[in-house]
Amino acid sequence: MADEAPEYEYDLWLYIAGQTPKSLLAIANLRRICDQYLHNRYRVRVIDLHHEPERAISDNILAIPTLVRKLPPPIRKIVGDLSNTERVLVGLDLTPRRHTGS
């Protein structure tokens, strides 16, 4: 990966395919969750497969939207519009019990 340690703890990639309601909803939900639980410790990257279709193959994406937690390891995947905050936190291993905000 990068030579220097990144200044963020969480690297989150969100795959969408065009500005569909599901995609927009997922983006909004992710921003809200990050703001609330990760403050400045994260980076979110939105990848639109309509612009970068090859990424569907290289990153092995089938469902849209898919959220991939690249950092910290291990890699975790969540598919769906992220409309249930509680389950997103579980999926990202971000349960308040273990990861209290700093």
Residues that bind other proteins (CB under 8 A): 15, 17, 22, 25-26, 29, 49-50, 53-54, 56-57, 60-66, 76-84, 87-88, 90-91
Q: Please, what is the minimum distance in Å from the beta carbon of residue 63 to other proteins?
A: 5
Joined together, the tokens standing for residue 93 give 């291993």
Q: Please, what is the minimum distance in Å from the beta carbon of residue 70 to other proteins?
A: 14
Q: Which is nearer to other proteins, 2 or 62 (CB)?
A: 62
Contacts by residues 27-31 (CB-CB < 8 Å, ≥ 24 positions apart): 29/81, 29/82, 29/83, 29/85, 29/88, 30/67, 30/82, 30/88
3-state secondary structure (DSSP) of residue 3:
coil
Q: Which is nearer to other proteins, 16 or 42 (CB)?
A: 16
Q: Please, what is the minimum distance in Å from the beta carbon of residue 47 to other proteins?
A: 11
